[in-house]
Chain A
Amino acid sequence: MTEVEVNEEESVFHKKLKLKLKERGKEGRIILLKDYLDYIIRNDKTMPPDFPTFVREIMGLDDRKGFIHIRIWHENSELVEFAKAMGYEFKVDHYD
Chain B
Amino acid sequence: MIEDDFSVGEALVGEEPEIAHIDLIVGKKNGAAGIAFVSSLAQPKMGHTPILGVIRPNLPTKPSTLIVPKVTIRNLEDAEKIFGPAQSAVAKAIADAVEEGIISKNGAENLIVIVSVFIHPRGSDYQRIYRYNYAATKLALKRALDKFPNIDKVLEEKDKSMHAMIGFRINNLKKPPYLEVALDIPDWRRVEGIIRALPRSDAIIIEAGTPLIKRYGVEVVQKIHQLRPESVVVADLKTLDTGNLEARMAGDATADVIGFSGLAPIKTMEKFIEECKKVGALSLMDTLNVPKPVEILNKLKVKPDIVELHRAIDVEQTEESAWGNIQEIRDACGDNVLVAVAGGIRVDRVETALKAGADILVVGRAITAAKDVTGAARAFLQRMGVEEVDQFRVMTDF
Contacts and interface: CB of A to CB of B under 8 A. Distances in A.
Contacts, number: 74
A52 B283 CA distance: 31
A12 interface: yes
Interface in B354-398: 365-366, 369-373, 376, 379
Given A6-B366, A72-B193, A13 B373 contact: yes
A27 interface: no
Nearest to B197: A74
Given A1-B347, A49-B223, A74 B192 contact: yes
Interface residues of A, number: 27
The listed residue with most A CB atoms (<10 A of its CB), out of B124, B189, B369, is B189
Contact of B189 (A1, A8, A46, A71): A71
Contacts of B369: 6-8, 11
Interface string A1-42: 111001110111110000000000000000000000000000
Interface residues of B, number: 34
Nearest to A50: B188
Contacts of A77: 189, 192-193, 196
A44 B223 CA distance: 11
Contact of B190 (A7, A14, A46, A47): A14
A89 interface: no
Majority DSSP secondary structure for residues of B touching A = helix
Interface string B277-291: 000000000000000
Given A46-B222, A49-B217, A3 B346 contact: yes
Contacts of A72: 189, 193
A6 B369 CA distance: 6
Given A1-B347, A46-B226, A72-B189, A13 B371 contact: yes
B196 to A, nearest CB: 4
B326 interface: no
Nearest to A44: B124
A46 B223 contact: yes
The listed residue with most B CB atoms (<10 A of its CB), out of A45, A48, A71, is A48
Contact of B365 (A8, A46, A50, A78): A8
Interface string B57-90: 0000000000000000000000000000000000
Contacts of A46: 219, 222-223, 225-226
B106 interface: no
Interface of B: 124-125, 187-190, 192-194, 196-197, 215-217, 219-220, 222-223, 225-226, 317, 344, 346-348, 365-366, 369-373, 376, 379
Given A1-B379, A49-B219, 17 more contacts: A1-B370, A1-B376, A7-B369, A8-B365, A11-B371, A12-B371, A13-B371, A14-B190, A46-B219, A47-B219, A49-B188, A49-B223, A50-B216, A73-B189, A74-B196, A78-B192, A79-B189
Query: Which 3 A-B residue pairings sit nearest by Cβ, starting from the closest?
Result: A73-B193, A49-B216, A50-B188
